[in-house]
Structure formats: C-alpha cells, structure tokens
Amino acid sequence: MSRIECVIFDWAGTTVDFGSLSPVSAFQEAFRTFGVDVTEDETRAPMGMLKIDHIRTMLAMPEVANRWRSVRGANPTEADAQAVYERFEPALMAVLDRHCDPKPGLLECVAELRALGIKIGSTTGFTRAMMDVVEPAARAAGYAPDAVMTAEDTGGYGRPWPFMIFNNMKVLGVKSVTRVLKAGDTVSDIEEALAAGVIPVGVVEGSSVMGLSRREWDALDEEEREACREKTRAVFARAGARYVVNNLAELPALVRAIEVR
C-alpha cells in the first residue's frame, strides 16, 4: 500500500479535453462580443480558476484593461465582469460536449492507482451545470472519479482556495494532507495544492500551460516535443510544483516512488 491514499485530479486539460480547448474559445468569444480581443496567452494565464474569477482576473490585466477602456470608454467594473460571464457561459455550454474525451493514459492510470488502494478525487473550475455535461460523457468513456467538487460545493471559494480539496478529503475519508496528491495542468492547480498542503504535481502533455491541441502535439517531432515539455515544466516549477510528470502514464510510478522515499 502506498502512503498516498488519494489522488485528486483536475478535469479539463488534465483528465479530459487535451489542451483545455473548450474554455479558451468561449472566453475569447465572450470578450469579442464587447469589441475586445484577448490573446490566447492572456486567456490561458488564469486557467483553472472558477470561471467568473477567471474573467475578473483577465479584466484586471493591464493590457486587457487598457483595451477595454479604449473600446468601452471606461475602466472595467464588476458589472462588466458579470456581463462577460453572461456571454461566456452559453458559449462554453455550446461546445462543451465536444471536449470530454479522456486524455491518453487516463483510464490505465486510474485503474493502476485503484489497484494500489488509492481513492480518486477531483476539483474543477467548471460550475456544477458544466459538470453535468462533462461527468456523464466522461463516465460513458470509462472515467468516473470517486468525488467531484466544484466551487459551488464550497460557497463559491474556487482555486486557489483549498476548500475543494478539503471537501474531497472529507467525503473520501482521508485524514491527512500528507497522504494526498493533487495533479493538474494549470498554475491555479498548483496554487490550490500548495494552499491545501497536499503534494502538487504538474501534468505536462495536453496541459493548458502547454496550450497545444492533440493535432498540434501529434504533428511535432520528438525534438520539438521535448522543447515544449521543458518550457512547460519550467512554468510548473516556478509555480511550486513538487513533481512534474510528462503524462498520466507516469503518475502511478511517481506514487510508488513517493512511497519508497
């Protein structure tokens, strides 16, 4: 038995939706409806947060705020954040069911972890309504974690607050944060894990940090892939990840290695 009792996964970009594509397009479309263009880098920077917090964070970025002010004639406000969110949610819901496929190696990874007696939890920046689309699709494809927590389960406190992780531990009966590993594909995932005191692990390939679709990733040669991996690993390292794995296939070996140490 590993000393790790629970692995808590993120969803989009970590376990499903290679590249975390669905939120990016929806955020950009929502901003465009107000005449403001945002870049992919700006859109991905807060990825993993509760979606309204994500929009607030984007509107607080100096360059985005300047563009907003230039187009709209005033600095962005909380009312503006809510207005963008009202456009974002239907844009995301319109495409969400197309982005629920499990990432390569997920099912094998989870099966191996469960064979070690490890419980599988999850946290997300999606709302419960969004998860009502994602969860059934993932379950039909073979992935069903033992617990799924959204910010609605914690009074609106999403990442980087630690409470979704704590709720997983409560529901799954895990007594110590030292026995929990949190795997995610964004800086917000790492910050959430650090806030909770659990072991933070970055997942490189297919991550929002890397920002490549499956088609773009498959088109790279090995030298190009390694350059992308190195760049992504560095982001996770700066964020405070204790470990970084290239893909989910490497995660069970990491869990066993932690037991050895």
Active site residues: 10, 51
185 is in an annotated binding site: yes
Measure Cα distances from 162 to 8, 17, 26, 168, 233 in Å: 12, 24, 26, 10, 23
Q: Is the dihedral of CA 210, 31, 38, 52 positive or negative?
A: negative
Here the tokens at position 72 are 């709209």
d(CA 11, CA 15): 5
**Which stretch of DSSP H or E encloses residue 243?**
strand 243-245
DSSP H stretches of helix in the chain: 21-32, 40-44, 51-60, 62-72, 78-95, 106-115, 128-140, 163-172, 187-196, 214-218, 222-239, 251-260
Query: What are the tokens at 239?
Result: 């964020």
Helix, strand, or coil (residue 222): helix
Task: Round to whole Å and give the CA distance between 101 and 198.
Answer: 27
- SS3 for 201? strand
Task: State which amino acid sits at residue 88.
Answer: F
Tokens of 105: 């190696």
Record the tokens describing residue 213, joined without a space: 């679709």
Rounded to the nearest 5°, which phi and psi values hold at 117? 85, 20
Is residue 10 part of an annotated ligand binding site?
A: yes
| Binding-site entries for Mg(2+) | 10, 12, 185
| Binding-site entries | 10, 12, 185
